[in-house]
């Protein structure tokens, strides 16, 4: 039986880990390798690492960093940042990465999604949509380059297009909710969910395990990613890497995903 995935998302800036609020005010939270080691011990479902410098400044992916992270990871590993060609994607897969994530490249050259999917398989191609709500119209818009450039593109229509071109997964990342820790944008998730039937992962807003549970309760088999929730503790946002224990995950799924008749114990 397939289960929802609870996924830490790590942002890399100047080779260190940071956490942002609404894609601004970066706070250093540690070393990427150390974070991966801790998440290994906590047996996380999957890990997303996004190099926000590579995409914004047009840099080549840091292959040595990716290789080191992949060698350390004992969970499925999705990497994004600076991937513009099929050759780059293939090189990254050769380092031990299971999924590659593209954002601005998908907008600037949509056909690359079909080319990547043909070469490495649909299930390995993830499109990240950084989405912000317009103040006046309350409509959503896609942004690129770490939310520094608006595109004027409707993310709901674009998500459907990415599915047609062969993307195997859509990551819905709310700029407005990033780092705020007050819950996910459920309206945005619903809109994307209505137009695609491939797996989606949602990011932006998790402030508690209950926020994750709310998404799972509404959408079932879905990826629920978080940054601040898994790296900060308390109102003063002290850095402390965490992740739900097996018992906590078990309880979360029992309450929000599995009914008592179909409940399968996953915590040994």
Query: Which residue from 13, 12, 29, 22 is spatially nearest to 204, judged by alpha carbons?
Result: 22
CA dist., res. 172 & res. 192, Å (int): 8
Beta pairing partners, 143: 130, 150
Is residue 185 part of the annotated active site? The answer reads no
Specify the length of the chain in residues. 268
Residue 12 near residue 65, CB atoms below 8 Å? yes
Q: Which residue spans within 59-122 are E strands per DSSP?
A: 77-80, 99-102
- Tokens describing residue 10: 């790590």
Work out the number of other CB atoms within 10 angstroms of the CB of residue 169.
Answer: 22
Q: Please pick, among 45, 51, 53, 130, the residue that the annotation labels catalytic.
A: 130
Active site residues: 130
């Amino acid at each position: 039986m397939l289960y929802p995935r609870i996924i830490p998302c790590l942002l890399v800036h100047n080779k260190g880990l940071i956490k942002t609020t609404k894609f601004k005010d970066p706070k250093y939270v540690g070393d990427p390798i150390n974070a991966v080691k801790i998440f290994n011990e906590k047996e996380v479902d999957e890990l997303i690492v996004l190099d926000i410098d590579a995409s914004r400044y047009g840099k080549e992916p840091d292959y040595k960093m990716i290789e080191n992270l992949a060698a350390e990871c004992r969970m499925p590993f999705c990497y994004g940042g600076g991937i513009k060609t099929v050759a780059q994607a293939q090189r990254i897969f050769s380092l031990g990465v299971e999924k590659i994530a593209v954002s601005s490249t998908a907008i600037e050259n949509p056909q690359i999604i079909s080319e990547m999917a043909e070469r490495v398989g649909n299930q390995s191609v993830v499109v990240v949509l950084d989405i912000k709500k317009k103040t006046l119209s309350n409509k959503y818009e896609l942004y690129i380059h770490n939310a520094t450039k608006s595109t004027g593109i409707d993310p709901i229509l674009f998500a459907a297009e990415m599915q047609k071109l062969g993307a195997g997964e859509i990551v819905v990342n709310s700029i407005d909710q990033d780092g705020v820790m007050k819950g996910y944008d459920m309206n945005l998730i619903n809109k994307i969910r209505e137009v695609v039937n491939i797996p989606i992962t949602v990011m932006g807003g998790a402030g508690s395990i209950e926020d994750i549970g709310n998404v799972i309760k509404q959408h079932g088999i879905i990826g629920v990613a978080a940054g601040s929730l898994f790296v900060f503790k308390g109102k003063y946002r002290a850095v402390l890497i965490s992740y739900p224990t097996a018992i906590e995950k078990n309880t979360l799924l029992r309450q929000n995903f599995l009914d008592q008749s179909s409940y399968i114990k996953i915590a040994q």
